Amino acid sequence: MKRYGLVEAGGTKFVLGVASNKDDIEATTRIETTTPAETLGAMVDWFRSQGDLSGFGVASFGPLILDKTSPDWGHIGITPKPHWSGADLAGSLKIAFGLPLAIDTDVNGAALAEARWGVGQGANSVLYFTVGTGIGGGAVVDGRIVHGLSHPEMGHIRLPRHPDDREFAGTCPFHGDCLEGLASGPAIIARWGASLSDLPADHVGHDIIASYLAQTVVTMQAVFAPLSIIFGGGVMGTVGMIDRVRVQAKALGNGYFAGDIDEIVTLPGLGDKAGLLGALALAQAD
Ligand code: ZN
């Protein structure tokens, strides 16, 4: 039985684990994301204490350099996150352990895990979005993660503005009012001073954010015709948000796209284990 080291690399914390299959995560720990030297050093130290491993699966915040012909494969790309642009995430483990290593974005990992074990089981086209500190999206088609020159950046698509949301400039440092710049947690706080969960249920923010996510749904239906579009992340913890997205997506689609929105658009099936299980799915697929 292969035992894999698993890394869920996030902007605020790294979650580490060891598992041989999805039902048996033997050990986990959390490390604060500070500087690459500190965090990656602590990660390597923890895995050294975990006995024999067969390889690693790493599901990370992006952007990531995933071109296998590049000397920078497995590095973090250019990110506004201080210290982390160019950090050699994969290399820190490769150099320390010399074992096989699979790395992809957290959302691609989660999409693969949901396609294998979660709500996307049996679907030939599964999309996973996280809506939190940032917005990311990943796609699994016919069992394989979709890549191009790099991984998709679905959080940075452009959307028409909600009529009651024309003034806000958006928070994306690259594009201003892209999807992430309009609907991520920081964008919500920048407009209304609180997260949606802390605003009254009849606050206009709920419908504005739902409208951008619903536009995302119909855009993805047009591009991928997915059987499953899964929305995770902190913003989706807002009571009623998934239902608001469904209602607005149905109205926007106007009966044109195949499938039942109530079945297509869901919360994650794997819950808070999606990150580590994503890393496991990546390791097993390598
Ligand atoms: Zn953007």
57-112 pLDDT, tens digit per residue, is 999 998 999 999 999 999 999 998 899 999 999 999 999 999 999 999 999 999 99
CA of 252 to the centre of ligand 1 (A): 23
8 A C-beta contact, residue 211 and residue 190: no
Nearest to 75 by CA among 51, 55, 95: 95
Arithmetic mean of pLDDT, 13-29: 95
Q: Using alpha carbons only, what angle is made at residue 79 by residues 134 and 34, rounded to the nearest 5 degrees? A: 85
Q: 3-state SS of the chain: helix, strand, coil percent to 5?
A: 40, 20, 40
Question: In angstroms, what is the span from residue 26 Cα to ligand 1's centroid?
Answer: 38
Q: Distance, CA 132 to ligand 1 centroid (Å)? A: 14
For the chain, give the number of residues: 286
Query: From the CA of 80, how far away is ligand 1's center (Å)?
Result: 11
Residue 272 pLDDT greater than 80, yes or no: no
Predicted confidence (pLDDT) per residue in 178-206, tens digit: 999 999 999 999 999 999 999 999 999 99
Interatomic CA distance for residues 129 and 245, integer angstroms: 13
Question: Could you tell me the two tokens for 135?
Answer: 């917005």
**Distance from residue 154's CA to the centre of ligand 1 (Å):** 9
Least confident of 149-153, 186-190, 272-276: 272-276
Give the Å distance between the CA of 175 and the centre of ligand 1. 4
Residues paired with residue 139 on neighbouring β-strands, in sequence order: 127
For residues 195 and 11, which has the higher predicted lDDT (pLDDT)?
A: 195
Tell me the DSSP string of 148-211.
SSS---GGG---PPPTT--S---SBTTTBSSHHHHHSHHHHHHHHSS-GGGS-TT-HHHHHHHH
DSSP-assigned letter for residue 231: E
C-alpha–C-alpha distance, residues 128 and 110, integer Å: 7
Task: Compute the average pLDDT of residues 219-242.
Answer: 97
Q: How far is the CA of 182 from the centre of ligand 1 (A)?
A: 9
Residue that the structure tokens 């024309």 belong to: 166
In this prediction, residue 137 carries a pLDDT of: 97
CA of 100 to the centre of ligand 1 (A): 33
How close is the Cα of 46 to the center of ligand 1, in Å? 34
